[in-house]
Amino acid sequence: MSDVHELSAAQQLRALRAGEVSSRELTEHYLTRIDRLDAELGAFVTVVPELALRDAARADERLARGEWSPLCGLPLGLKDLYSTAGIRTTLGSAALAEHVPTEDAWTVGLLRQAGAVILGKTNTAEFGAACYTENDVTARPAVTPYDPARYASGSSGGAAAAVAAGLLPVAHASDGAGSTRTPAATCHLVGVKPSRGLVSSAPASSFLSAGTEGPVARTVADAALLLDVMAQPWPGDLYGWRSTTSFAGAVTRVPDRPLKVAVWTETGLDAVEAHPESVLAVRRTATLLGELGHEVREIVIPANCDEPVRQALKTLFVFSVGITAPTLVPAERRRLLRPYTRHLVSAGESLSAAGVVTAQSVLARYASTFLAALEGFDIALTPTTNGPPVPLGHYFAHGVEGEADLMLGWSCYTPWVNLTGQPAISVPSHVDGEGLPHGVQLVGGQRQDAELLALAAQLEGAALWADVHPPCWYQ
């Protein structure tokens, strides 16, 4: 069964249920591809073949008895920021290279209960703090299979590289400032950042909830299947809510009315121009939306990412990483942290409570400006990234002090959505003349995730993007 990875996740689930393929066959196929291809891609931190084959055998036994669950027998990878009982969880840090949790994170537990067969943990930036995936746990950064000399972005770079290369049918990811959407764009994939509270962050809890888990997939339907499983709030969630609509059902229906779409391509950064290919991606998407009957209007970017906002974003990262890392990493192992993480930890030592509260106020005003400007629109359309995947080492050109500005210049279109709490999806647009992928971001109204996914599926059905694959897909 050499071409089983060419089936979508939805097709694989149907084949499993019909008895046309076994979970063991699927699992062995993907494990073989990981063993053959991942040394160049850097998609995985940890692979657990024995555990995966045991889980596949149990899935096959259930299927033989006629039992069924939403992901029964489907191979899956989990991002290495999230605890997995019995499987090491490094958070992308050499300082935690031997850490093996005893309990699953909430969403990990949901995916396991749904019958997914866990093949391993996908590569991530250290503590999820970068839009590139390079750490000191793995020998290889996570690269886009379309050009292994370029990053697959981050911090869900491993998940995206694995799905694009056919090492997984679909993958678990997370997004704190674009970390699902930008890797999807670099790998010609679909990446979903759900509305705040739809997917639980348990056991973590915070009044400032910017990050959330979500799926990365080859098709909108595959992403919807995984989201249906993940969208079950933990009872103690501060922002938790439950959708009354099946996302897998939503993507089978076109929007029930013409949608009002706001469009911009400005970066919001005074010294950073929009990349021509990113502008092209938005233009061709806007044209197709108009042809599909939606009302498309170009607007000025609602708020610039000026110096106070940039400093507030940096403070937010210092607060989330610079405080978290010392809590998790013993003092004697902090020498193993990467330079950028040590930079954040050092900055965290001088961080004041007043500084954190002030930064939160600045970002709240920034987010509110977007929400107010988008009142009356159903959807916002922007590029996902400002240009193609960047070369390895790109972010190190100006030392650790310059990394944040370089990352923001490339990923400037995504962080505002984490602050507003709206749902967003990155879908492919095109592959440029150099063979590099580009994507567009669609942002929906708060808690309008089903409507957003339906629109993305409509664009997919209208052939916004071609069904192309990187060279290693055929190996």
- Please give, one letter per residue, the 3-state secondary structure of 327-375: HHCCHHHHHHCCHHHHHHHHHHHCCCHHHHHHHHHHHHHHHHHHHHHCC
Half-sphere exposure of 306 (CA within 13 A, CB side): 8
Q: How high is the pLDDT of residue 1?
A: 47
CB burial string 334-347: b at 16+ within 10 A, e below:
eebbbebbbbbbeb
Distance CA 122, CA 47 (A): 9
Among the four given CATH numbers 3.30.450.20, 3.40.640.10, 1.10.760.10, 3.90.1300.10, the one describing domain 4-474: 3.90.1300.10
Profile the chain (475 residues) by mean pLDDT over runs of 10 residues: 88 98 98 98 98 98 97 98 98 98 97 98 98 97 98 98 98 98 98 97 78 97 98 92 96 96 98 98 98 98 98 94 90 96 94 95 97 98 98 97 97 98 98 98 98 98 97 97
* Spacing of C-alpha 45 from chain mean position: 17
Distance CA 286, CA 448 (A): 20
Give just the sign of the alpha carbon dihedral 454, 455, 456, 460. positive
Q: Which residue has the tokens 């063991």?
A: 24
CB burial string 2-35: b at 16+ within 10 A, e below:
eebbebbbbbbbebbeeeebbbbbbbbbbbebbe
Going from N- to C-terminal start, the domains of the chain cover: 4-474
Query: Residue 220: beta bridge partners?
Result: none
Closest CA to 204 of 304, 70, 324, 343: 324
Residue type at 199 in one-letter notation: V
Supply the residues annotated as catalytic: 79, 155, 179
Distances, alpha carbon 142 to alpha carbons 258, 270, 318, 337, in Å? 39, 30, 24, 18
Per the omega criterion (within 30 degrees of 0), is the bond before 361 cis?
no
- Determine contact, residues 370/303, Cβ cutoff 8 Å: yes
Single pTM value for the model? 0.98
- Determine contact, residues 149/391, Cβ cutoff 8 Å: yes
SS3 319: helix
- Determine contact, residues 245/227, Cβ cutoff 8 Å: no
Closest CA to 92 of 184, 158, 150, 145: 158
Closest CA to 20 of 71, 60, 67, 55: 60
231's tokens: 């969208």
- Determine contact, residues 76/119, Cβ cutoff 8 Å: yes
Q: Which residue has the tokens 């998407």?
A: 285
361's tokens: 């106020």
Distances, alpha carbon 154 to alpha carbons 263, 315, 427, 469, in Å? 25, 20, 16, 20
